[in-house]
Amino acid sequence: MPSGTAAARRKEVETGTGSAWRHPRLLRLGYKHSMPQPHRGDRVPTNVRLPRHMREAAEAIAARDGVGVGEAVTRIFGEALGLSVPEYCLPKSQRSRGDELELPLSKAS
């Protein structure tokens, strides 16, 4: 099968191989990583059309917090409804650091 076909491109995307991750359309859609992200739980794609000024505000929030636009919108929507927000939607400074332990100040030097 020629490498330019849609099926080949899809296979490259699914396996994280080839140049598919550098494809302009994927970059426009916000894919910035060379490999797929780890599984983030039970999610469904939801296409939403926002007024331009709301999209610009979401992009500004995403840039400020160091997350994608989709994660920023998910966090804002969850907070507005009083629901728990997934950790990957939080600003990088507010995420838990897993197994990292904090040393007391007396031992930190």
Q: pLDDT digit string (tens) for 72-107? A: 999 999 999 999 988 888 888 887 765 555 666 665
Measured in whole angstroms, the distance separating CA 4 from the mean position of its chain's CA atoms is 27
Q: What is the DSSP secondary-structure string of 59-83?
A: HHHHHHHTS-HHHHHHHHHHHHHTP
- Chain segment 19-62, per-residue pLDDT in tens: 555 566 666 666 665 556 667 778 888 888 999 999 999 999 99
* Predicted TM-score of the model (pTM): 0.54
